[in-house]
Structure 1
């Protein structure tokens, strides 16, 4: 326990919870033991009183002569005076028996107790009944209850020792739990501190027992995975902006500088202005696309989600891009699912994402080739698949193409800003879908899949 100070353990939730349960268990223990003690003591006292009443009844039924003889005989037989009987006259003077003085009593035929000083000098607790006989004499029937008192003391001692043992074990358990919790939280704190200091690949430790801390750590680790992805995207975006936007900015500046240096006529000057406007508009479209992706990723549009059928969205997107495909002799076919492909989402965003997929497929496919659009709807998944006959995407770049402004080497000289698949990826994350890029041999196959809703089965 060298790494954990004892003074820090009482501040842990586990230690305080253990103390709370110790208190509850201690109260339950006291209540149970008190009930057992009360029932046991009541039972023993009741049994002793029943025996005394029985003795009184038996002695009262005997004739006076026989009664006197039996009391004297009983005194000789009961050597230890466990059940002493005595007989007194109407004035309370001793006649026969073991107890030679009538003890003070409050009423006849009522069990009472007194401490009897025996002939050997020892005091003994005695429970007795005083009964008035028919001939005016007084009968005293008693029972030594020393054993009952010893049993009571044994129960009380067991209660005290058991309570102390319970307290000791409970406190020890609370300290162990507090130490274990503090040590585990120390590991979590160190991991969080490392993450704060810049180790974005660090994660909270998980023991694997799926307890409260494990579940919390798993949620935080998922959040850290998303933060790492976003930070990586931000870094990638910065690099890609520096790489991809530098060229159009350089062309824009160079064209303006040439226009400024040369003496151009009105037509040449207008052409230079048009070229600069084209470059500026392309840059503006790029930034608009970036803002569009940011708007999608903030998840603010989830409030507009409603059940929709991907068959209808796919049909609309195919109808929109069919003229563009026909211009290049590309066959654009659509395969709807047999069952309704129902899912909760934003119809406009999914339509835009599908349009980006079709635009890429048609753009990178050779003339007179084929692009296939399929709607998937089975027991577990619902989604869209687009297959083209283009050059495909190398396996090493299939994750990178989902980043903003990333463009594969094979597509750097084609029109575009590298944000189409980034927008698709953002829409997929908003709808809890996944985007996978695969080889179509030849060409590329992109799947956009999510969980099916019960209505789509």
Structure 2
């Protein structure tokens, strides 16, 4: 890549040099042509004696050798002025380039030739030695600058390339470790913050999500094995008792009802797991519409008011304004998330306690928070309770399967919302906020 860019840069530099040389040559020729025209106009109308006298005076001044004036007869023989050979291919009354072969060293000139009425020809010329020397120095300077730039550019490209290769090698080694199963490894990032760093950052975020999902899968398998063992054991025991102890249809029905309750609980757990998987799949994003978060929260509060009254918990809805809180989402999923939070608040709040659902909105987003005066969640358990089947010590003996907050977390991620669990002075506050 460095060599390719070097070639492109070299071609661009060559084109620039040719353009500058062409422009410079045109400028110098224009200035020479203006001088030739001006001098020819001042001398061509003079009588022959005046022309000879003027040319003789110029010949005595050695400084005029670079700009010679000459007078030739009809046969091209020099009459007066600086001794130059008559041009081999003369062009009259227009600037042209010619070479002088009369001297030992061949000189090049740009001149203008005018034929007088008496047949003589006046030649006004300017030596091209300075122009050629200027162009030669310009070419040498450009060549030196080009070579210096090429060497420095190539050295810089090699240095940058080696740095990039080292970084790619480090990334390849990290990727190899990840492929071997070390999900804690991450692609190295530098301080420059370039394109490779941005790519590494995105890949590292992807690896964080993969590690989280892998931990969840492992945790779910372990928790399913642990949590399903108890209800399956009770189910087995109930069936064993029905087989050994039932002496009447009523006793048999009682044992069967116990078994059916256990089976319903197991099915409910698996239904919750499937529901979480469905939400995390993200396919429901296509059904997102504009919804009013306040209206959904009010519906959820009205739905759970009878259950709250039965448990002796005061359930209320609050908002600082009546303006709608519009967000983009799935109304049934948002309702389900709020319903799970309210259900937990009622379940873990003792009698004569209270729970309140607050919805606030501003120009940047909306927030729904469910606060209660229940047993609360410890700060160290705030992240753990979002894992499937996890149950804090205070709620271990309460009914449920430990999947409610996991479902709420999945719905929040699907909607791009932030889930926050805080512990006020009494109880718990769970907040869903749009990002």
TM-score using structure 1 length = 0.86
Q: Which segment is superposed worse, 282-291 or 254-263?
A: 254-263
After TM superposition, the structure 1 = structure 2 runs for residues 116-135 of structure 1, keeping only pairs within 5 Å, are 116-117=100-101, 119=103, 121-135=104-118
Match of 1:226 in 2: 209
Q: Within 2, Cα distance between the matches of 1:29 and 1:100?
A: 40
Match of 2:391 in 1: 407
CA change 1:35–1:259 in 2 (3 A) is same
Aligned residues: 434
Q: Within 2, Cα distance between the matches of 1:45 and 1:379?
A: 70
CA change 1:61–1:78 in 2 (3 A) is farther
Deviations 1:387-437 (A, max 9, x none): 222221222222111111111222222221111111111111111122222
Q: Tell me by how many angstroms 1:209 deviates.
A: 4.0
Which residue of 163, 178, 184 maps to 1:180? Answer: 163
After TM superposition, the structure 1 = structure 2 runs for residues 76-225 of structure 1, keeping only pairs within 5 Å, are 76-78=60-62, 81-99=65-83, 101-117=85-101, 119=103, 121-225=104-208
> Are 2:337 and 1:353 equivalent residues in the alignment?
yes
CA change 1:325–1:91 in 2 (3 A) is closer
After TM superposition, the structure 1 = structure 2 runs for residues 247-396 of structure 1, keeping only pairs within 5 Å, are 247-262=230-245, 264-338=247-321, 339-396=323-380
The answer (yes or no) to whether the contact 1:109–1:129 under 8 Å persists in 2 is: yes
Match of 1:3 in 2: none
Q: Within 1, Cα distance between the matches of 2:166 and 2:372?
A: 56
The answer (yes or no) to whether the contact 1:311–1:337 under 8 Å persists in 2 is: no
TM-score using structure 2 length = 0.90
Match of 2:54 in 1: 70
Q: Within 1, Cα distance between the matches of 2:84 and 2:195?
A: 75
Structure 2 alignment gaps of length 5 or more: none
The answer (yes or no) to whether the contact 1:117–1:123 under 8 Å persists in 2 is: yes
Q: Within 1, Cα distance between the matches of 2:403 and 2:225?
A: 15
Match of 2:427 in 1: 443
Q: Within 2, Cα distance between the matches of 1:380 and 1:77?
A: 88
Q: Tell me by how many angstroms 1:80 deviates.
A: 7.5
Q: Within 2, Cα distance between the matches of 1:79 and 1:416?
A: 112
Larger relative contact order (CA 8 Å, sep ≥ 6): 1
Which residue of 431, 438, 441 maps to 2:415? Answer: 431
3-state SS of 2:65 partner: coil
Q: Which segment is superposed worse, 295-304 or 102-111?
A: 102-111
Match of 1:5 in 2: none
Deviations 1:22-73 (A, max 9, x none): 5554444334332332222222223333333344334433332333333334
CA change 1:226–1:79 in 2 (3 A) is closer
The answer (yes or no) to whether the contact 1:306–1:346 under 8 Å persists in 2 is: yes
3-state SS of 2:44 partner: helix
The answer (yes or no) to whether the contact 1:388–1:440 under 8 Å persists in 2 is: no
CA change 1:123–1:402 in 2 (3 A) is same
Q: Tell me by how many angstroms 1:308 deviates.
A: 1.6
Q: Which segment is superposed worse, 428-437 or 288-297?
A: 428-437
Q: Which segment is superposed worse, 107-116 or 353-362?
A: 107-116
Match of 2:382 in 1: 398
Match of 1:417 in 2: 401
Q: Within 2, Cα distance between the matches of 1:93 and 1:369?
A: 128
Structure 1 alignment gaps of length 5 or more: 1-9, 452-457
3-state SS of 2:356 partner: strand
The answer (yes or no) to whether the contact 1:78–1:84 under 8 Å persists in 2 is: no
Q: Within 2, Cα distance between the matches of 1:253 and 1:448?
A: 41
Q: Which segment is superposed worse, 326-335 or 90-99?
A: 90-99
Q: Which segment is superposed worse, 439-448 or 275-284?
A: 439-448
Q: Tell me by how many angstroms 1:100 deviates.
A: 6.0
Q: Which segment is superposed worse, 428-437 or 83-92?
A: 83-92
Match of 1:454 in 2: none
Q: Within 1, Cα distance between the matches of 2:78 and 2:433?
A: 107
3-state SS of 1:434 partner: strand
User: What RMSD in Å do the two structures reach over aligned CA positions?
Assistant: 2.5
